[in-house]
């Protein structure tokens, strides 16, 4: 993806990528319209098909690009020396928000691709998943398990529930913050992180020793 569009100025490149991501995150593959993509990206029909052989080709290249981006962006922000799971989850949530600021629909897109597989031939999805998805999922799993100090938790019997509560709360909070992005044009991350910390304090009090 990045290499295919390497000759474009990056502003136009992002317009194409975001327009395609938006369309594919809004509609399943067959209903997604290349006409809409070019219209919203502000380019001509011909140009899109100059860079990509077909709609299917665009879709697959997009998946590769997105998963790579997510992998790099997230893994670079997680420190494997950090043993406090709640801090890691916080870092993860912040990383997600930073990505969503530049590419607003990336997560919706990738969730749609791998959950709601009607979008394309199932075999193709699995092939793509094998190509890009496994590392990504392994990394996500590592965040919750690798070198984590579970002894911080107050009640060993309910650790999984505790984790769910934290995760769900921070996710919903960040979703809510992101939904304000249309009104102001950019996010005030200091403020957002402060809010995150307030929720984390309440939760730590509840589930940590």
Partner DNA sequence: TTTGTGTTGACCACATTGGTCAACAGTGCT
Partner DNA sequence: AGCACTGTTGACCAATGTGGTCAACACAAA
The interface partner of residue 36, options being a second copy, DNA, none and the CB cut-off 5 to 8 Å by kind, is: DNA
The only residue of 1, 17, 21, 32 in contact with DNA, by rule CB under 7 A: 32
Q: Which is closer to a second copy, CB of 5 or CB of 37?
A: 37
Taking the C-alpha atoms of residue 20 and residue 36, their distance in angstroms, rounded to an integer, is 9
Does position 63 interact with DNA (CB under 7 A)? The reply is no
The dihedrals phi and psi of 153, each to the nearest 5 degrees, come to -75, 140
Cα–Cα distance measured from residue 74 to residue 155, given in angstroms and rounded to the nearest whole number: 29
* Least distance between a second copy and beta carbon 75 (Å): 25
Residue 22: which of DNA, a second copy, none does it interact with, CB under 5 to 8 A by kind? Answer: none
The DSSP secondary structure of 9-72, one letter per residue, reads: -HHHHHHHHHHHHHHHHHS-TTT--HHHHHHHHT--HHHHHHH-SSHHHHHHHHHHHHHHHHHH
2, 10, 54, 84: which one binds DNA (CB under 7 A):
54
CA distance 28 to 44: 22
Question: Judged by CB under 7 A, does residue 83 bind DNA?
Answer: no
Residue 191 near DNA by CB under 7 A = no
Q: Considering the rule CB under 7 A, would residue 33 count as an interface residue with DNA?
A: yes
**Which region, judged by CB under 7 A, interacts with DNA, from 6-14, 61-69, 114-122, 124-132?**
6-14
* 56 belongs to the binding site for DNA (CB under 7 A): yes
Give me 99's structure tokens: 């990505």
C-alpha separations of 111 from 5, 21, 116 in Å: 24, 12, 8
Instruction: Determine if 140 is a binding residue for DNA (CB under 7 A).
Output: no
Q: Compute how many residues bind DNA; rule: CB under 7 A.
A: 19
* Cα 198 to Cα 172: distance, rounded to the nearest angstrom: 14
Binding site for a second copy (CB under 8 A): 27, 31, 158, 161-162, 164-165, 168-169, 171-173, 198-199, 202-203, 205-207
Q: From a second copy, DNA, none, which one binds at residue 8 (CB under 5 to 8 Å depending on kind)?
A: DNA
């Amino acid at each position: 993806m990045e290499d295919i569009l390497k000759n474009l100025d990056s502003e136009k490149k992002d317009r194409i990528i975001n327009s395609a991501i938006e369309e594919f995150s809004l509609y399943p593959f067959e209903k997604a319209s290349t006409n809409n993509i070019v219209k919203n990206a502000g380019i001509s029909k011909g140009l899109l098909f100059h860079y990509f052989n077909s709609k299917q080709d665009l879709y697959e290249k997009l998946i590769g690009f997105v998963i790579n981006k997510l992998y790099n962006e997230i893994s670079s922000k997680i420190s494997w020396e950090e043993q406090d799971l709640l801090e890691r989850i916080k870092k993860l949530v912040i990383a997600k928000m930073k990505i969503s600021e530049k590419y607003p629909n990336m997560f919706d897109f990738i969730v749609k691709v791998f959950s709601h597989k009607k979008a394309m031939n199932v075999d193709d999805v699995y092939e793509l998943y094998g190509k890009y998805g496994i590392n990504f999922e392994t990394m996500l799993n590592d965040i919750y398990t690798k070198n984590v100090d579970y002894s911080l938790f107050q009640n060993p019997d309910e650790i999984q529930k505790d984790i769910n509560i934290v995760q769900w709360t921070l996710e919903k909070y960040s979703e809510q913050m992101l939904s304000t992005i249309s009104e102001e044009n950019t996010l005030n991350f200091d403020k957002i992180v402060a809010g995150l910390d307030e929720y984390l304090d309440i939760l730590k009090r509840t589930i940590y020793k």
